[in-house]
Structure 1
Amino acid sequence: MTARYDGRELPLGPPRRRAVLALLLVRLGRVVPTEVLVEELWRDEPPRGPVGALQSHVSHLRRVLDVTRGPGEPSLVRHRAPGYVLGLAPEQSDAHRFERLVGEGRRLLGRRDAVAARDRIAEALALWQGAPYTEFSAHPVLLDERGRLEQLRLTAVETGAEARLALGAAEEVAAELAREARRHPARERLIGHLMTALSQLGRQAEALELYERTRSHLVEEFGVDAAAELQRIHTAILRQELDDGPVAEPPVPPAVRPVVAVAPPAPTPDDAERPAPTGAGGEAAEPAGPSLFAGRARELRLVTRAAAATDTGMSPASSAPPVSARPAY
């Protein structure tokens, strides 16, 4: 754990003093009672006068960290009954910035903004400089926080991979996730993204082998089968139904695609004998745009007659010849 100010690293002191700062940092903005800090710092072997020893560590941390405060500003390590609180803003902690950026990346991916999601996750992972709090193995609270942040890092890796797969970066994703899969063989979402990347690269045999290896590991270690989503990806690869790359924009349907300078169909002899259609008031109707009935003048006339007969109460059969049952395609 390091603290930097104005481009230089601040001297935090020996391990237990650094642990005091870490214990306050993982509860940023909350008061940590003195008795809790004593218990977490010394466990079953407290020194003589543990409260005085804690106050000594706090005093040294204040001298080091308070070079960052302006005139009249309170100390960063503040006493607030019944204990102490660290007065940093969340954005001054890499761990908190990391968590915020990962959350933003996941929300952007949920809105299908793959480019923004990819960039936000990349910004988050750039803050990661190794497993956090590894120096505090004797402090269960800090070990729990290390595990939580590692799980969050894996979530970030998976989210970034999903965004990049949507953008066609299958080769890049496959190279990155292959390393992670070896370290986390039971991480099914990660395995699913790796299988997808391999399939998009034409390496279906490797993807299927990875699935069998993962499934065997899950059964042997946890007594469970692969999750439904991983099974779905496996089946899609077997059936060659998995997407081969990024999804393209769907084509505009022909019925709504813009039409430019479409000539009307040539009139048939029968059309020439019929008067121009009129509107409801007897005036000439506006010319229609390109019709789905183009080239089917006879069928269109029959439909029009039937509709007109319905409006006037006449039977369609009395105003039009019978229609053949055979489709005129």
Structure 2
Amino acid sequence: MPTTIRFSVLGAPQLTVDGVPHPPRGPKLSRVLALLLFRRDQLVEVEALVDELWGDRPPRRAVSTVRTHIYHLRKFLEHSAGRDAGDLLATRPQGYLLRLGPDRLDADVFARLVESGRTLLAHGRPAEAARAGRVALDMWRGRPLGNTAVGTLLRGHVHRLEELRIQALEQRVEADMRLGRHRELVPELRGLVAAYPLNEWFHARLIEALQRSGRRADALRAFGELSTVLSTELGLRPSGEVRELYRSIREGEPVRALDAV
């Protein structure tokens, strides 16, 4: 029976072999593995690894140290997977290449599920979009790369994944709203506005969900809380779309659903 190998960056970086997790030992080894994973199936030059590990202050023997880290990474892969790592980690004159192929990195699967959810939502299939969103979000074990210190190159990848997670949350909330799950969404949306206090979209959806749950006074209070946050933090007012939502609720008019994500 062939060995099933997966890699994860949606949380602390790790290799999973037949369902058993194997975290790399040491922060430098984790960063080297992470950069190779984010650039899977592409050549990662030695200079890029030096830049990620030490920035503009590399040690005198930086290139030799990178080679040492690659040696330990190769041994880690061989020990964890119980096989020769040559088919995974290839050495080239300018650098190194981690050959993964499809579906071996959780971030790739996650991104594909988010895109699938977006397409399903656009085609009027909210129930399927909500399921795709839940599967995608359940893949997260924590912040990308966990507590691993990151340099300039990895920081960009981490930020991209965090933004993609917000998109996944917005799409899944939008799908549930279309399915009429307003009451069930209120506690989650309160948590989201606490976690992302400057995300006006989450605030607006909380206001709408409260109103559609028959909680008009709470919806108006939620608008006031948004106004206070934006004014205090950014010196801004809520967008015209959200102000129109507030006006409709205050005057007892039918509330039009806000534009989808």
TM over 0.5: yes
Q: Is the 8 A contact 1:136 1:143 kept in 2?
A: no
User: Matched residues in 1 for 2:173 and 2:52: separation?
Assistant: 38
Deviations 1:94-123 (A, max 9, x none): 112111111111111111111110010011
The aligned residue for residue 10 of structure 2 is none
Distance 2:138 2:202 in 1: 19
Paired residue secondary structure (1:84): strand
Whole-Å separation in 2 of the counterparts to 1:79 and 1:229: 54
2:235 to 206, 217, 223: 223
Distance 2:103 2:246 in 1: 41
Cross-structure match for 1:178 = 190
Q: Quote the residue 1:300 is aligned against.
A: none
Secondary structure of the corresponding residue to residue 32 of structure 1? strand
CA contact (8 A) 1:101 1:121 kept: yes
Matched letter for residue 190 of structure 1 = F
Task: Look up the equivalent residue of 1:182 and give its one-letter code.
Answer: A
From the superposition, tell whether residues 112 and 235 of structure 1 become closer, same or farther in structure 2 (CA, over 3 Å).
Answer: farther
> In the alignment, which of 115, 124, 127 is matched to residue 127 of structure 2?
115
State, as a whole percentage, how many aligned pairs show the same letter.
33
Q: Which has the higher helix share?
A: 2
Give TM-score, length-normalised by structure 1.
Answer: 0.68
CA contact (8 A) 1:106 1:159 kept: yes
**In the aligned structure 2, how far is the partner of 1:232 from the partner of 1:110?**
24
CA contact (8 A) 1:121 1:160 kept: yes
Contact 1:10 1:65 in 2 (8 A): no
Matched, 1:151 2:163: yes
In structure 2, the partner of 1:43 is 55
Partner of 2:24: 12
With over 3 angstroms needed to count, the CA separation of the structure-2 counterparts of 1:144 and 1:134, relative to structure 1, is: farther
Q: Which has the higher mean CA deviation after the structures are superposed, 26-35 or 170-179?
A: 26-35
Distance in 2 of aligned mates of 1:194 and 1:94: 30
- RCO higher in 1 or 2 (8 Å CA, sep ≥ 6)? 2
Q: How many residues align?
A: 243
1:241 aligns with 2:241: no
Residue 86 (1) aligns with residue 98 (2): yes
For residues 192 and 240 of structure 2, the distance between their equivalents in structure 1, rounded to whole angstroms, comes to 21
Q: Report the Cα offset of residue 222 of structure 1.
A: 2.2
Q: Which entry has the higher C-alpha Rg, 1 or 2?
A: 1
Residues 175 and 52 of structure 1, relative CA distance in 2, 3 Å threshold: same
Q: Does 1:190 align with 2:179?
A: no
Using the alignment, how far apart are the partners of 2:193 and 2:77 within structure 1?
Answer: 40
Unmatched runs of 5 consecutive residues or more in structure 2: 1-12
Q: Which 4+ stretches in 1 moved above 6 angstroms?
A: none
1:158–1:193 Cα contact (<8 Å) kept? no
SS class of match (2:97): strand
Q: 1:60 aligns with which of 72, 78, 81?
A: 72
Residue 317 (structure 1) aligns with: none
Conservation of the 8 A alpha-carbon contact between 2:117 and 2:130: yes
